[in-house]
Structure 1
């Protein structure tokens, strides 16, 4: 194999691909990236057996061929080569090395045979649809924070993606919860998503998709089956196994009868929670909300360091209520509100609270209270 490629393009592609590779691997081949040159293209592929990313970029192919090299070392070498340089990759199959040349720099990397590299065969996908990348990004951004990190409840370690809504207003819905808070976002259902199976997209996959979208306005094609999901955007293909589990009936958690409505300026509320929570301890992050008509008092008491209170003018016309929340969870949810005004629907100090953007009902958040 002999191929010439532009440094900036190779670095960008390796940046997408090498992140999938775990730093520590008991199986040596999983630490490598598969490099294949053919038909004026260079393709790079990496996998951790659950997730696979392939990216193709233009290149001058003198001799076709393929090999595998250590992913992180390859990325570091390309990253440190001078801007604008042309990189020549030449594999010598007899010596099992890949030579890397750019300007006056020379490197050789040990390789492993391509035949050992695993293939995450996707099989037949039952459903396929396209979405604007910005919509996929919004769905991830608004729900990702609520994904559980508790490995024992593995079925909560991702975003539950499924078809929802009514025949007249069909939606593609993403839901995430960790048992303390829940985030849900609806997008208009794209053509082809009707009747799709409900799937749980793993946390690592969600993060990789989010990074791929960062700098593009393109369309993204999503294909899925009961066991796998594939995202295609531009010349990048990301295939992932899905979490094999049953997502809980989240609808039962979303309160329907909360009759106390609090309307608050999102920025003022966020800043006030942030200020008073400075006093709270790492262990007990509780902030108390004391509501009375037209007024909200936020307070934190920490026996070890002191106390803090702040008063806000709000729209509230129901009975007085004291309720406590984890301040970090409250700030996480406030950060998701895209408009200027947030609406909180409350019931009592022991029941979950519903939070929404006053002007955009496509997203909703549920937060369990704390004792204060």
Structure 2
């Protein structure tokens, strides 16, 4: 087997799929990239058994065909340091000895039998398919990924819930302290279905989707999903289980409403939170007369801070406490210049909404309050 390929093209594709490979794998073969040469097409695969990513590249002067695996580390590390140039791979089909020739030298290493590589799980006959612009999928993942949980006892909370309706699609994530719901009505699939996308494949998609411009084809059944992009195919095992009824936790009647400049508010929170109790990160918001008094204190170290932020406030005077790290994280994941914060009372969740949504998008973020002891 022999082929010639551009070093830059090979490296960019391998780096994209290398994020699938775990630092420690249950099977030694999973430390490798799988290569398949058919005609002038070189298909490359990386897998951790639950998530598999495949990409293709056109090669020059291909001879023969076959399957072999190569250590990801042996291949990636030298390629990162090579300038752009043609690489010639020569593979001995008998013992899988590989010679890699380039402008000023050569590498020699032994490949692994590609037949040992685990196969992707096939989808069931009743799998559903929908098409979605890459930008819509990227926005949905970007808006929600930060709010996914890390709870081993409740794995269903550790992914993005994709709730598909005939007239729209909703991305939801929650770690039980915060919740994000991002609705997009530009996708009218005619389907009624849902699945929970695990955090790792969602992160992989987040990294490769910015370079996509067309549609992504998503095919899924009860256990697996396949995301087909222009240059990559991602197969992943879904999180199985019933996602909680997210709509029921969103408070409906919130008479107290703040409209505030998001960037100014975030900067104040960052400054004041330095003085908060390091264990709780509690900041208190005191609302009255078109002003938010943001305060924090750490009794153990006798430190405290307060700052006032101008806002447009309608409602009764009230005080409410939030974990500053969560509130800053939520505000940092909204792109609107101003945000609306809707509150009912200090014990119920606060809603944080962009004043201006992106086209076809309806974004809602929710944060549970912390109980206040008198400052």
TM-score normalised to structure 2 length: 0.94
Deviations 1:247-271 (A, max 9, x none): 1111111111121111111111111
Deviations 1:194-214 (A, max 9, x none): 334210000001000001113
| 1:256 aligned residue | 252
Aligned partners of 1:343 and 1:357 also within 8 Å: yes
Deviation at 1:12, TM superposition (A): 0.6
Deviation at 1:241, TM superposition (A): 0.8
**5+ long unaligned stretches in structure 2:** none
| 2:160 aligned residue | 159
User: d(CA) in 2 for partners of 1:48 and 1:198?
Assistant: 24
Deviation at 1:95, TM superposition (A): 2.5
Is 41-50 or 60-69 further displaced after alignment?
60-69
Aligned partners of 1:160 and 1:201 also within 8 Å: yes
| 1:33 aligned residue | 33
User: d(CA) in 2 for partners of 1:313 and 1:44?
Assistant: 55
User: d(CA) in 1 for partners of 2:45 and 2:197?
Assistant: 20
Report whether the alignment pairs 1:330 with 2:327: yes
| 2:229 aligned residue | 233
Deviations 1:20-45 (A, max 9, x none): 11121231111111111122111101
Deviation at 1:146, TM superposition (A): 0.4
Report whether the alignment pairs 1:144 with 2:145: yes
Query: Which of 282, 287, 291 is residue 283 of structure 2 equivalent to?
Result: 287
Aligned partners of 2:25 and 2:48 also within 8 Å: no
The number of residue pairs the alignment matches comes to 366
| 1:98 aligned residue | 98
- For the residue of structure 1 that corresponds to 2:274, the secondary structure is helix
Is 177-186 or 232-241 further displaced after alignment?
232-241
- For the residue of structure 2 that corresponds to 1:213, the secondary structure is helix
Aligned partners of 1:42 and 1:59 also within 8 Å: yes
Aligned partners of 1:132 and 1:217 also within 8 Å: yes
Deviation at 1:305, TM superposition (A): 5.1
| 1:77 aligned residue | 78
User: d(CA) in 2 for partners of 1:273 and 1:226?
Assistant: 43
| 1:43 aligned residue | 43
- For the residue of structure 2 that corresponds to 1:198, the secondary structure is strand
- 1:58-73 equivalence runs, <5 A: 58-60=58-60, 61-73=62-74
Deviations 1:125-167 (A, max 9, x none): 6222222211111111111110001222111110000124xx7
- Quick one: structure 1 residues 115 and 355, their matched pair in 2 at CA, closer, same or farther if it must change by over 3 Å? same
- Quick one: structure 1 residues 352 and 11, their matched pair in 2 at CA, closer, same or farther if it must change by over 3 Å? same
Deviation at 1:179, TM superposition (A): 0.3
Report whether the alignment pairs 1:132 with 2:133: yes
- 1:1-372 equivalence runs, <5 A: 1-60=1-60, 61-81=62-82, 83-124=83-124, 126-164=127-165, 170-188=167-185, 190-191=187-188, 193-303=189-299, 304=301, 306-360=303-357, 362-372=362-372
Structure 1 outlier segments of 4+, above 6 Å: none
**5+ long unaligned stretches in structure 1:** none
- For the residue of structure 1 that corresponds to 2:191, the secondary structure is coil
Aligned partners of 1:52 and 1:120 also within 8 Å: yes
Aligned partners of 1:293 and 1:319 also within 8 Å: no
Deviations 1:71-101 (A, max 9, x none): 23211122122x2211111222323322222
Compute the RMSD of aligned alpha carbons.
Answer: 1.5
- Quick one: structure 1 residues 154 and 7, their matched pair in 2 at CA, closer, same or farther if it must change by over 3 Å? same
User: d(CA) in 1 for partners of 2:142 and 2:103?
Assistant: 42
Aligned partners of 1:261 and 1:346 also within 8 Å: yes
